[in-house]
Chains A and B, each alone.
Chain A
Amino acid sequence: MTLERAPLAPNPVICAAFGHCGIGIGAEAYRWILIDVGADPRRPALKGEKEQIHVLRRYGGTVLRFGVPYKKAEVPLVPRALLIDLDPRAANLILQSYPELFAMKDKHALYGMGGAARNWAEGRSRFRNEIETKYDVQRRFEELSPEPVRGFNIPFAMGGGTGGAFASAFMEHVKNTGGGTQVMATIGVLPEFGWDPVILGPASISIVMNLDYQIKYADMPMLIDNKALRNLAARFGNDLSKRSSIVDELPEELEIGWRDYRNMNLIPAHVMSLFVASFTRETEWDMSNYRTWLASSKPRFVYPWLIPVVPKESDIEGILNSLSEARDGVLFDFEGEEPSRMVGEKGSCCVLVKARGKFEHEHRERLRKIIKERFPTEDKRIIFIRIPCLGGEPGGVLVLLNNKAIGNKILSIAKEAEDAWDGYKAEYERWGLKQEEFKQSLINVVNHFS
């Protein structure tokens, strides 16, 4: 099928999803994107040139690729997704439940030999032994994307063993083998202690190590907090339950895990769809621009503010009005502290505005005022990026905030990790994480977030 009027697609971006949480969010994000496109998320296929142009205008070939045509010249849309886990269950379940979505079958997945025992060091060691040395990871990228890969979206949970550790080792792998040109955007999910099935001390150690790797290797590290997600999922439960989710079509006997996180995963999926749209659609922004934006920031991390959390309207007026109805949400929990007091002087933000029609000066000023009231930021440090809203899809605003307000929470986790280390030292050293390395990472993280 040849296209006469197709816009030039940016180079491909692979979504490398790690662990149960990362796979859940990554797969959900693809479903969100496909629904945006107007495709059937169970069997996304294009029926003609018109549809193909339609899709290219939305996401290009960046996060989706066109597969081998079916009968009647239907062209399947294949996610450029790699699902990686030590325990094969999560990825297998997704692949088996959506055989026509993940049409490249096993090429979408990399498995290890079973869980990492909630131990970051075991996860890293086993990524090196069970993934890096046994699979040709580079070849897998090429299979998903014969064109040169320009970047990676990497969702994962930070408090467990596999997601955080594998993502860390993966980032290092990409930086050491990719020539330094590929952009890495991480979507790290902080656990809610006392609610998520994580162990306080080891989870804190895992978070510190993972943060250090993100500081070293990620270009656009984004932090999302499960406590905030849980609260938002409860607040917007009705609206979220009306949205279609990958969980809805999984086997009914799977109650634990997937269903508990259904609504929670839909929220970061929305964030990812807006984030991806900021550089795949017809905008003046490129994925690598995020790298420059954050290059000299301290901390070099962002956290998202979604307006609204569940999209309905597509015009900017409606989207801004959702704020007065309190339908927005910041995906970070400040543990009772008032973030406006902690943002620091050099905070900045990137405002992704996906809306139909014009985005007038007056709208810009209103949005700017709202942002500044909550997160005091200098006018000149606010970047607006317009994303076209196409077809019948709803719009939304994603404010990616880069400021010091997240520091206190991270420092309290670092303190927890430091206090826990002596007790777990032997267990970690057994898997190759020496005290020296942990302490160096701790100092780096403390310095970065102070």
Chain B
Amino acid sequence: MDFSDLESLALRLEDDEEKLRQVEADLAWVKEELKQKPKRDQKETRFAKLAGYQWKDESDLIRRAKALEEKRETLINDIKANSQSFMEGFSSKDLTVPLEPKPNIESGAFFFSYRNGVMYPRTIRVISKILGLSVPIVLEPVTISERGVKVVEEDQYLAKEKIVETFEGLQKTLALKLKQPVRRRL
């Protein structure tokens, strides 16, 4: 798996998370309406009686709430599955981070941009979110951003070594997160 695959997964993840936020907002509104419903129904019924017609509930709130609940459930499952795939992909031994082999020097540090100037904003955002870090990801002396990887080192060889170590650290921590909760012997 490489960063392009991860970026597609991250796109789906962020998309679904946005949809989930919207669904949850809608659901909250519908639930509030449902809370008010008995009082309103009573008023509508009394009014209908006074006005001499048969009142019929056409708000459809219960059906909408059910539909939203189902949608929410589906999105949560999709997010969970995509998140799992993302973590498995990132922590896999075959992960490719498409960095240019030769770095540029930027303010006294080595900067390895991603190949062909491609940017991976979503991948970086998702990794940092899962690990509870900020964007860009700073693990001294390495900074990983959407544009590439910056290393504050004196030597290019050492800089490359630090990048490998840092990505290994991220991969292993994600792998640890994927593990089941610790079960201790009794």
Contact = CB atoms under 8 A, between A and B. Distances in A.
Interface string B132-168: 1110001110000000000000000000000001001
Contact of B184 (A193, A435, A444, A450): A193
B50 interface: no
Contacts of B169: 443-444, 446-447
B38 interface: no
Interface stretch (A2-10, A322-330, A416-424): A416-424
A440 B176 contact: no
Contact of B185 (A336, A416, A440): A336
A374 to B, nearest CB: 22
B131 to A, nearest CB: 6
Interface in B86-129: none
A415 B182 contact: yes
Given A443-B170, A444-B169, A447-B165, A436 B176 contact: no
A439 B185 contact: no
Interface string A186-214: 00000001000000000000000000000
Interface in A324-372: 335-336
A442 interface: yes
Contacts of A419: 181-182
Contacts of A443: 131, 139, 169-170, 172-173
B133 A418 contact: no
A293 to B, nearest CB: 21
A447 B184 CA distance: 23
Q: Size range of the interface on A?
A: 20 to 34
B64 interface: no
A418 B173 CA distance: 9
A294 interface: no
18 contacts: A335-B185, A336-B185, A411-B176, A415-B179, A415-B182, A418-B177, A435-B132, A436-B133, A436-B134, A439-B131, A439-B132, A443-B170, A443-B173, A444-B139, A446-B172, A447-B165, A447-B172, A450-B168
Which 7 A-B residue pairs are closest in the complex by CB-CB distance?
A: A447-B169, A450-B172, A443-B169, A446-B173, A439-B132, A443-B173, A446-B172
B139 A418 contact: no
B133 A447 contact: no
Contacts of B179: 415
A412 interface: yes
A318 B172 CA distance: 46
A414 interface: yes
Given A415-B176, A439-B131, 18 more contacts: A335-B185, A411-B176, A412-B182, A414-B176, A415-B179, A415-B182, A416-B182, A436-B138, A438-B132, A439-B132, A440-B138, A442-B173, A443-B169, A443-B172, A446-B173, A446-B176, A447-B168, A447-B172
Interface residues of B, number: 20
A335 B184 CA distance: 9
B57 to A, nearest CB: 43
Residue of B133, B169, B170 ringed by the most chain A CB atoms within 10 A: B169
Interface of A: 193, 335-336, 411-412, 414-416, 418-419, 421, 435-436, 438-440, 442-444, 446-447, 450
A47 to B, nearest CB: 55
B9 to A, nearest CB: 21
Contacts of B133: 436, 439-440
Contacts of A336: 185
B34 to A, nearest CB: 31
Contacts of B170: 443
Given A336-B185, A412-B182, A440-B139, A421 B132 contact: yes
Contacts of B134: 436
A414 to B, nearest CB: 6
B87 to A, nearest CB: 13
Nearest to A194: B184
Interface in B21-72: none
A421 B132 CA distance: 10
Residue of B165, B172, B179 ringed by the most chain A CB atoms within 10 A: B172
B116 to A, nearest CB: 29
A436 B173 CA distance: 14
Given A421-B132, A440-B133, A447 B173 contact: yes
A450 B176 CA distance: 10
Contacts of B182: 412, 415-416, 419
B163 to A, nearest CB: 13
Residue of A411, A412, A416, A446 ringed by the most chain B CB atoms within 10 A: A446
Nearest to A193: B184
Residue of B132, B134, B140 ringed by the most chain A CB atoms within 10 A: B132
A412 B179 CA distance: 10
B47 to A, nearest CB: 50
A443 B165 CA distance: 11
Nearest to A448: B169
A442 B165 CA distance: 14
Contacts of B168: 447, 450
Contacts of A436: 132-134, 138
Contacts of B176: 411, 414-415, 418, 446
Nearest to B183: A412
A412 B180 CA distance: 10
A62 B21 CA distance: 65
Contacts of B177: 418
A421 B131 CA distance: 11
Nearest to B167: A447
Nearest to A449: B172
Nearest to B165: A447
